[in-house]
Structure formats: structure tokens, C-alpha cells
Amino acid sequence: MDLLESFLQKTAPVAASEELGLAGTQTCERRLNGTPFILTKDPKIANYVFNDGKARTNYCLRPGEDRGLQKLHMFENGLIWNNDTPKWKKIRGCFQKALGANALKHASCIIQKEAEPTLTAHMEKADGKEGIDLLAICRRLTFRASLGAFFGVDSTEFAGLKVDEAAFIDAIVQYFKAWEYFLIRPEQHWDKSLAKKHSQAVSSLKGHVQNLLKAIEMRDASLTPSQKGSKRKLFVESLREVCVKEPECEELLLQSSLEMLLAGTDTSSVTAYYTLLALAGDKALQHDLREELHNSNEEALLRSIVDESLRFKPVGPVVLRQACQDDPNFPAGPVKKGTGILVHLAEMNLDEEVWKEPRKFDPRRFLVPGEHKSVFFPFGEGPKGCVGMHLGRREVNSIVATVILQYDLEIVGSETLSSLETHWDIANQPDDPTRIRLSPVAD
């Protein structure tokens, strides 16, 4: 059975869930546009693909349509979907260096500094009874953290550098929609008007990033030698050093910068929003977390709440990999070179064979660190695991802690995290974000 039509009509996570349900097993093999594709929610297979000493290097490619990836400027370019392994390794090293401890601390400080004025501004504009769109606020905070930590741009410079924050963030959101449209859709299945719309979205974000890089270059050119000497090295400067010998240096620099903002802004913000929504539905949990944040530096409950949010409503519901070579030792049977692998994290996270009461939001299941290491992979793992994992955790923790220390949260209406409808635009996005009412915590 070929799953292409089902994947295109229903999205990959939904179609894969249906196929696994029909198969009645944790793993099944199908075909996607003629290519063998293994669908699985088996933690043992996930561990094999992500972490097995020999196998993990065999699953360091990501499947996708070349023509669609070209439309996204991801074909053998950037980091996230770059299957040119030597080039990818160079770029990944640059990302890893940029995502060091100092950058993470800087990102956290930016969120703590920006949260209060951003929340206050939104609350002044909103009707208190209707609540506010916390997802929009989370996106602003992660966007500012990414610009500050990796591009050296403070929010006070936005006007001078002509950074249109709202338009930039919207361009990031629209790029995700284009990504979902082009990723596995063969060109003969493109709708002319939709393909044009999504191509324009890609061009829009690319234009924003291009203008940003030019503005940063012009700003830094005016610095005195002493100012340049005291300035910390930016991500984009390290990128240029890595890319300079590549024949398409500027394109690689542009796409890599785009992807740093893409991943640093949206996935973290959605996870932070889901976590705050879960807290808004549980007053006792808010109280317990606030007590921990006031009285302890360990943040065990905060970490557990974020992990449970990642399990309960994963922003990345599926992980896609592709075999570089034949694999006779694959747990479900021999695998041929080019075979696609879809690890269904969302299904795994709700599997009663894996979790006790999986449809109950219970952060305390994660209070023992590492207890679920063999069944919980919120960022994927292995060579193609999320390079920004520590940044994502730091951003989410900072947003949640900053908000909960200052405000009591209350859901407006009846829609909880459990009932919230979502759709897959590569990241698992809410259809209509539930509004949340914020009230200052009583002294």
C-alpha cells in the first residue's frame, strides 16, 4: 500500500497513526511514493535508530522530495534537512559552538528581562475577561532571545535596524506551513496557487533574514577597533568562517541563519505555550511550582512539568530518518538503503504498554531523572538529534518560571491542553490558541 495520498491529505503524523492502528502492531512497513517506509512507535526500534553504536550513523539522512527541498532552500543547504554529510557536519559544528553555555545563559537573561514589559503591554491592550494570547507572547520572547544571543541584536535596536518584529515572526510561522507543503509532496502533486503562495512565504522569510544580516554588517562596520575587540563573536561570524571555502558561501550563510531563527523561535515558543496551558488548568500545580521556584534551586518540578508537556503534546510528533546503507540487523527485519523510517513519538508517548495512564497529565512521573530515558525522545537523538535541545529547554524553562512567579493563570473558556486541537506544520501547532487570563500573584 502506498501512503502518499494519505500523507498529503491528512499529514504524516495522522496518516501514520491510522496505519499503525489498522496494523494493530507497534511497527509496520508501507511504501511512500514507491519508497519503502517503516512506521513505528516501538521504543526499542527508536533506541536502535537513535542510539545504537553502529546503526545511529546509518540513520543520519532525512527523507524528502529534492524539488520541494530546493523550494525551501534546504536541499544540501543549511543544517536541518541537509543530506550533504560533509557540509552538514561543518554547519552542525558551528551551531554546536554557538549554542554553548554563555549563549544559553544570554538567551535566558533576555527572556527574563523582556517578559514583564511584553506581558504588561499585551495585558493593557486586552480585555481582562477575554485573556491574552500567550502563544504570541512566547513567540516574541523566543524571537528576541534568538536575535540577542546569536545575532547580537537587542530589542531596543529593532527600529534602527528596521526589524519588523511582527512581520518577521509571521514569516517564520508561514515558512513552517511551506515546509510541510513541500517536504514530501512530489512536484506533480503541487497545486499551482498553493505552491506559489508557499514559495512567496519562503522568499518572505529569506528576505527578512537577508535584510537583518545586512543591517548587522552595516552596524558593526561603524564600530571602533576597541568596540570590535570587546564585542563577543556572533554566530553569523563563525558561520562565515566555516562557509568561506564553500562555492555557495552566501547562500549557505543565509539559510543557516534562517534556520537558527526558525528553530530557535517557533518550536520553543509552542512548547512553552503548551506548558503554560497545562498549568492554567491546574491551580494546585501552579502553587507547587511557585513554591519550588521560591525555595529551591533544583527546579525538579519545573523540569518534570516541561517534560510532561513534551510527552503529552509533543511539538515534534514524528521523527523522520532514512537509511544510508543496507541494514541486515534492523530489529523489525533487514532494511534496504534508502528506506524511510518514521518514529511516531506522539503515539509512543500515549502507548499504554509504555506509560501508566498516558492520557493523564502527570508531571510527577518525571521526578526521577532519567527514569524514562529508554522510551522518551522529545528532541530525537543521535547524529540528527535536535542541535538546539538545550536552548529549547532553557527558553521554555525561563518563560514558564518567569510567568508563573508573577501571575496566576486561568483558562478562558473550557478548552484545556488535552482538548486543544492541533495540526502539523512540521511543528505541532494549535489550531486556535486558547486564551489565558493572567492575574498578579498576591503578595
Positive or negative: CA dihedral 392, 397, 403, 409: positive
Annotation-wise, does 386 bind a ligand?
yes
Residue 338 is placed in which grid cell?
A: 534508502
DSSP state, residue 56: G
173, three cell numbers:
510561522
What DSSP state is assigned to residue 425? E
Counting Cα atoms < 13 Å in the Cβ hemisphere of 262 gives 30
CA angle (331 as vertex; 76, 338 as ends), nearest 5 = 25
For residues 332 and 110, what is the distance between their CA atoms, to the nearest angstrom? 46
Contacts of 296 (CB under 8 A, 6+ apart): none
CA 158, 160, 164, 166 dihedral sign is positive
Residue 146 host element (H or E): helix 134-151
Report which of 199, 192, 208, 207 is spatially closest to residue 178, judged by C-alpha positions. 199
Residue found under cell 511516531: 344
Sequence-distant (≥ 6) Cβ neighbours of residue 258 within 8 angstroms: 73, 78, 175, 205, 206, 209
Element of type H or E holding 255: helix 249-280
Report the length, in residues, of the chain.
Answer: 443
**Residue 250, Cβ neighbours under 10 Å: how many?**
12
C-alpha cell at 345: 513519538
Chain-centre distance of CA 393, in angstroms? 11
Residue 32: strand pairing partners: 35
Instruction: Give 322's contacts (C-beta < 8 A, 6+ positions apart).
Output: 59, 61, 62, 63, 83, 338, 339, 340, 341
Annotated binding site for heme: 386
Annotated binding site: 386
